[in-house]
Amino acid sequence: MEKQLNIGVLISGSGSNLQSILDACSAGKLKARVACVVSNRNDAYGLERARKAGIPALHLDHRAYSGREAYDEALVATLREFEVELVVLAGFMRIITGVLLEAFPMAVMNIHPALLPAFPGLHAQRQALEYGAKVAGCTVHFVDCGTDTGPIIMQSAVPVLEGDTDETLSARIQKEEHRIYPEAIRLYSEGLLAVDGRKVTIGA
Ligand code: GAR
């Protein structure tokens, strides 16, 4: 059988991006399998989605650790146990440290609901609305030690419409998230992403 990339997905909430990845895997669109899903919150619905798909779903409570690095050491141990090769942050609302990044060099991806470098950090959709932006969107990027600053893999833009609320804009952005995150993972899994400094090029 063809070698499949082992992915570990980290979540904190609904897990709709996780679902889009699971769906792409089961449709045979990705040469990858989700080896485990880890949440820092016990009530994350994404854990339920993982269980329904027959994938190990683990709760690792950040409050049980002395600090961010100790927590990341536990994450690394868990991800290693499941032989994870690519770490996918999908609505994982934790700042990660060098401990995770050094264990998975250029192998941690994130999706952010804005066209980076605009509106990093929390509540990106609200930031875009309050700023009066006419275009919003989402970004898949490799994670580095900054907040939402790593090399950009893929972006998709959506319009901001008159009368948009946080909810309507977020829904429009999420539709694009669910399209580009599996696609970025596919490119990675097929060895088609090359990183040179800040620039990511997509091979043929
Ligand atoms: C997504 O919109 C993602 O872009 C965002 O959290 C949401 C998770 O949704 N991530 C961030 O804001 C990270 N800074 P999901 O749990 O349904 O995939």
Residues 36-45: pLDDT tens digits?
999 999 999 9
Q: How far is the CA of 1 from the centre of ligand 1 (A)?
A: 33
Atom 1 of ligand 1, nearest CA residue: 91
Which one of 174, 179, 185 would you pick to mutate in the ligand 1 pocket, going by the greatest count of ligand atoms within 8 A of its CB? Answer: 174
Atom 10 of ligand 1, nearest CA residue: 91
Domain 1-105 classification at class level: alpha beta
pLDDT confidence bin for 51, thresholds 50/70/90: very high
Residue-wise pLDDT tens digits, 164-190: 999 999 999 999 999 999 999 999 999
| Atom number of ligand 1 nearest to Cα 15 | 16
Give strand pairing partners of 157.
137
Q: Which residues are catalytic?
A: 112
- Whole-model pTM: value is 0.97
Residue-wise pLDDT tens digits, 108-158: 999 999 999 999 999 999 999 999 999 999 999 999 999 999 999 999 999
| Atom number of ligand 1 nearest to Cα 124 | 12
Residue 204 scores a pLDDT above 80: no
Residue-wise burial string across 39-69, b where 16 or more C-beta atoms lie within 10 A, e elsewhere: bbbeebbbbebbeebebebeebebeebeebe
CA 163-166-169 angle, 5° bins: 70
| Atom number of ligand 1 nearest to Cα 121 | 14
110-204 topology per CATH = Rossmann fold (3.40.50)
Residue 1 scores a pLDDT above 70: no
Q: How many helices (H) and strands (E) are present in the chain, helices listed first?
A: 6, 9
Residue ranges, CATH 3.40.50.170, the chain: 1-105, 110-204
Q: How far is the CA of 80 from the centre of ligand 1 (A)?
A: 24
